[in-house]
Amino acid sequence: MDRMKVRELMRPVDEFQRISSNATFMEALETLDRADLAFRSGNAPERIVLVMGERGRIVGKLSPIDVVRALEPNFAPIDNIKPGFHTRLAQASLDAMKEQLRVWHKPLTKLRQKAERIKIRDFITMPRADQMTQAEDTVNKAFHLFIVGRHGSLFVQDGREIVGLIRFSDVYRKIREAIHVSPAPVFEAVAAPA
């Protein structure tokens, strides 16, 4: 695996369902449902839905957590505060702010009305540098990103264009295969002193 390239394990974007960043919240729900059904029936490798930007290029991925967070957009600035001394002192204040911004106390009909106005581009998060790897990088480099960032998948770029995803499950499968193929170490018995 030391020399294996990400390109050899990645799954091209064509293998994943895609949706436009201009699609509505409701279209996002439907697409996620189709991706889940395809995955559970064995017709898709993953539940991942890729998001296409204005020019048809992949700009991110859509998950159920993104959809739920779209209904609570006011939480993002609060939840992005990194833990530290100042946040421990202000935890009660943060909790109070979250309670005031809570959308779930509204009737479901209001949530539906809000959902019909939201577009994917309004809530999708763009991939960060620690979620990206190059197609010609070694799998070892991608493995490091998986471990440090605790990601389930990484975007694979060829230059600046996203051309696929590499999933942790595929890297893990290769590691498992390598361990099973490697010969077991041979230990020699050492005679006990008399």
DSSP code, position 137 = S
What confidence tens digit (pLDDT) does each residue in 138-181 have? 999 998 999 999 888 999 999 999 999 999 988 888 888 888 87
Q: Whole-angstrom Cα distance, residue 12 to residue 109?
A: 39
Query: Which range, 16-25, 97-106, 123-132, is most confident?
Result: 16-25
Strands 17-20 and 11-12: unpaired
Task: Please give the CATH superfamily to which domain 6-181 belongs.
Answer: CBS-domain (3.10.580.10)
Model pLDDT, residue 23: 93
What confidence tens digit (pLDDT) does each residue in 25-42 have? 889 999 999 999 998 999
Using only C-alpha atoms, what is the Rg of the chain? 22
Strand blocks (E) in the chain: 11-12, 17-20, 49-52, 58-62, 132-134, 153-158, 161-167
With a CB cutoff of 8 Å and minimum separation 6, the contacts of 119 are 21, 22, 23, 24, 25
Percentage of the chain modeled with pLDDT above 70? 71
What confidence tens digit (pLDDT) does each residue in 172-190 have? 888 888 888 766 665 565 5
pTM, two decimal places:
0.72
Q: Whole-angstrom Cα distance, residue 113 to residue 3?
A: 52
Q: Whole-angstrom Cα distance, residue 152 to residue 130?
A: 12
Tell me the average pLDDT across 53-67.
Answer: 89
Model pLDDT, residue 118: 84
How close are the terminal C-alpha atoms of the chain, in Å?
46
Integer CA distances (angstroms), 137 to 3, 11, 128, 156, in order: 9, 15, 17, 9
